[in-house]
Amino acid sequence: LVGAPGPRTRVLGDGGAYVVNSFEGDASPFDVLDDDQPDGTHGWLTRGRERTAVPQPRGGHEDFYSAVAEWLAGEADVPVDPADAVRTAEVLDAARISAKEGRLVDV
């Protein structure tokens, strides 16, 4: 999350980066970076000057809400295991503690 225009999502590592320039058609000054992105892809895996388009994952939030409606109607299983949500919260809590205390927190 940043207070200036830039890629929608950027995950940086020492071997490369995952970059998403726009999200669901939102206008972005970085859309030009996606001009050569193949259909059915979402973002780029970037290593130096090399870029590889990343296949669009199945699902998305529009699919999620449809799945929630089906679950509430008793027509399908819960779309996300509640244990996954708890695990995500544990990871976020560990990140907050790590940042505040300047130490590694095992999860």
Domain count, the chain: 2
Q: What is the pTM of this model?
A: 0.52
Tell me: do 19 and 47 sit in the same domain.
yes
Mean pLDDT over residues 27-42, rounded?
76
Element (H or E) spanning 62, and its range? helix 61-72
d(CA 27, CA 25) in angstroms, rounded, equals 6
Is 82 inside a domain boundary?
A: yes
Domain that holds residue 37: 9-55
Dump pLDDT digits (tens) for 55-72. 877 767 778 888 999 999
Helix (H, G, I), strand (E, B) or coil at 93: helix
Residue 46 has pLDDT above 80, yes or no: yes
pLDDT-derived band of residue 24, with 50, 70 and 90 as boundaries? low
Dump pLDDT digits (tens) for 79-104. 888 899 999 999 999 999 999 999 99
